[in-house]
Amino acid sequence: MNKLIKIWDWNEFLSSINKPVHKVLGLMSGTSADGLDIANVVFTYNYEAINFRVESALTIPYEEELQKKIVDSYNKSLSNVENITLLNFELAQIHAQMINQLGWDYDFVAYHGQTIYHLPEHGATLQIGEADVLATQLGKPVIYDFRKKDVALGGQGAPISAYLDSVFLLTDQQTAVLNIGGISNVTAYDNNNNLVAFDTGPGNCLIDLVCQKHFNIRYDNNGKLSAQGRINNELLEYLIEKNTDYIHKKPPKTTGREVYNEGFLKTPVSTSKEDLLRTVTRFTAEMIAINLKQHLPNTQKLVVVGGGAYNKTLLWDIKTLGYEITVPDKWLIDFREATAIAFLGELFLRGLAHEKVVTGAMKTSILGKLALPL
């Protein structure tokens, strides 16, 4: 007769959830696919109020071969179901190795995974990075798949960092948080005190693509390279015109590399590689400004986070388009999204949800799933 054995103590697990203090390891790999952002965040819960501090944070860059595998997986002509299946497990194994080498102390893991295709208009999104691999190799419970519940409820599944912004960063109706990652997104309160968040278009993704394809470098360090080129106004107008439908689409709305890729940069306008990079940088700024003026006209000040906050040419362009810019502390520039994922993990553990829905979902919900280590 087969015998059952008990390998998991739910009472002990529930007791750990009910502790007033959690250390949650937030893991984020964005559409730029340049590395894993890791934030070890201490959350203190008291009478339904949550406070946090980032105990430690760092980015571990990916090898170029891995970055290429990830970026190729976005492209239907370069990838297939076998490649994605293998990458799903390989990526989690690499992430586990990265974390284990740190020797950090934490209670839970909040894992975003890697978005490789995002189709909210069809009610679908896909993040890879197998959570069960991470849970078993780290020996910790993993909360993951934060976007899918929102999409299942009719939402865009993004920008989910908006919940961290609204609780901790937004101070008035004239200020928006602008995150310039692979894709740019904003979070702000409108005139009616409704929380609004949406993608404006490309962030670093097109800039990085031009750097990698034409200059054989991974990114434009501090915007120095783009500063050497000139804006090609004909190309700029062409790119903006190409985005007319997205500009006029009302929030909530999201986009991704399935739009802003090599195919997007195939244009009838010829230009030098230096001017192409300068024009793509200006186009990124224009998409931010045009979307803000269209959908959040009262916004005057931007708190800029994400890798794009280091691109001085991009920031200059945004300023010349009429915005006051504040760049916060380094941990918030680099690790806002990893901290936001840790925050969503904490909300999952506490059974809490933000009272406002910013993604277009039918109702607020608890985002995430749970993978146990055994």
Q: Is the pLDDT of residue 260 over 70?
A: yes
Q: Is the pLDDT of residue 175 over 80?
A: yes
Q: Is the pLDDT of residue 157 over 80?
A: yes
Task: Please tell me which residue, 192 or 303, carries the higher pLDDT value.
Answer: 303
Q: Kindly state the percentage of the chain with pLDDT values over 70.
A: 100
* Predicted pLDDT of residue 190: 86
pTM for the structure as a whole? 0.79
Task: Please tell me which residue, 355 or 347, carries the higher pLDDT value.
Answer: 347
Confidence class of residue 333 from pLDDT cuts 50, 70 and 90?
confident
Write down the domain spans for the chain: 19-157+335-371, 162-327
Tokens, residue 139: 């020996």
Task: Please tell me which residue, 57 or 191, carries the higher pLDDT value.
Answer: 57
Q: Report whether 40 contacts 56 (CB < 8 A).
A: yes
Spatial separation of the C-alpha atoms in residues 128 and 5, rounded to whole Å: 31
108: left (phi over 0), alpha (psi -120 to 50) or beta: beta
Task: Please tell me which residue, 257 or 340, carries the higher pLDDT value.
Answer: 340
* Predicted pLDDT of residue 174: 92
Q: Is the pLDDT of residue 1 over 90?
A: no
CA quadruple 77, 89, 93, 115: dihedral sign = positive
* 132-157 average pLDDT score: 96
* Predicted pLDDT of residue 329: 83
Spatial separation of the C-alpha atoms in residues 368 and 348, rounded to whole Å: 7
- pLDDT tens-digit series, residues 22-53: 999 999 998 778 899 999 999 999 877 899 99
Q: Is the pLDDT of residue 287 over 90?
A: yes
Q: Which residue has the tokens 């931007």?
A: 302
State whether residue 123 is helix, strand or coil: coil
* Predicted pLDDT of residue 167: 85
* Predicted pLDDT of residue 193: 83
CA quadruple 14, 20, 23, 26: dihedral sign = positive
Q: Do domains 19-157+335-371 and 162-327 have the same CATH topology?
A: yes
Spatial separation of the C-alpha atoms in residues 183 and 178, rounded to whole Å: 11
Which amino acid type is present at position 174?
Answer: Q
Q: Report whether 168 contacts 191 (CB < 8 A).
A: no
Is the CATH code 3.40.50.300 the one for domain 162-327?
no
- Rounded alpha-carbon distances, angstroms, from residue 312 to 181, 236, 308, 309: 15, 19, 8, 7
**Phi, psi for residue 48 in degrees, rounded to 5:** 65, 10
Spatial separation of the C-alpha atoms in residues 96 and 134, rounded to whole Å: 6
Spatial separation of the C-alpha atoms in residues 130 and 231, rounded to whole Å: 43
* Predicted pLDDT of residue 191: 83
- Rounded alpha-carbon distances, angstroms, from residue 320 to 118, 305, 314: 32, 18, 10
- pLDDT tens-digit series, residues 206-224: 999 999 999 999 999 999 9
* Predicted pLDDT of residue 373: 96
User: Could you tell me which of 1, 86, 39 has the C-alpha nearest to residue 344?
Assistant: 39
Superfamily designation of domain 19-157+335-371: ATPase, nucleotide binding domain (3.30.420.40)
